[in-house]
Amino acid sequence: MRCPYCGGEDTQVKDSRPTEDGAAIRRRRVCPSCGGRFTTFERVQLRELIVVKRSGRRVPFDRDKLMRSVEVALRKRPVDPERVERMVNGIVRQLESSGEPEIASEQIGEALMEGLKSLDDVAYVRFASVYKNFREAKDFEQVLGELSADETPSARK
């Protein structure tokens, strides 16, 4: 692991423990060159995934990009960060365990929409508006209609 301060290559691990959710390992490191101390979070990756974009371009899967998309959709929404982390971990596990080395970006988008739908309706509509490239008010009406239809009678007020 490269030192973020001096760029030294041979950092040493001083402490290693699992994170609270168990999805990563937290490592405290020190650089013998400059004495800098820093923390890394390392996740187990089952396989290297490649995302196939709509244009046909192939890029490595980036969990952080997925998390940023969720954070943008959930901005200023009262959702517990642990629930968000569990949802993202579930999507990543689902993609990794699919057995396919290449995943269509549409598959990731649909999985994310399903997760947001169960997490927060407003975030779901925000994400859908960008993901599905809404152009008119009727696009919003259609998604809101789908949300209303999905509600159970006991959930309506």
What's the DSSP call for residue 42? E
Co-location of 78 and 27 in the same domain: no
Co-location of 39 and 70 in the same domain: no
84 in any annotated domain: yes
pLDDT surpasses 80 at 56: yes
33 in any annotated domain: yes
Question: How far is residue 19's CA from residue 94's CA, in Å, rounded to a whole number?
Answer: 21
Co-location of 119 and 71 in the same domain: yes
**Cα 96 to Cα 24, 50, 103, distances in angstroms:** 16, 10, 9
Q: What pLDDT does residue 47 have?
A: 64
What's the DSSP call for residue 6? T
Co-location of 141 and 65 in the same domain: yes
Question: How far is residue 111's CA from residue 90's CA, in Å, rounded to a whole number?
Answer: 10
Co-location of 17 and 69 in the same domain: no
Q: Whole domain around residue 19: which residue ranges?
A: 12-43
Q: Percent of the chain at pLDDT above 90?
A: 20
pLDDT surpasses 50 at 156: no
What distance, in Å, lies between the first and last C-alpha atoms of the chain?
54
Co-location of 140 and 108 in the same domain: yes
Co-location of 35 and 67 in the same domain: no
Number of domains in the chain: 2
**Cα 119 to Cα 18, 97, 131, 141, distances in angstroms:** 26, 22, 17, 20
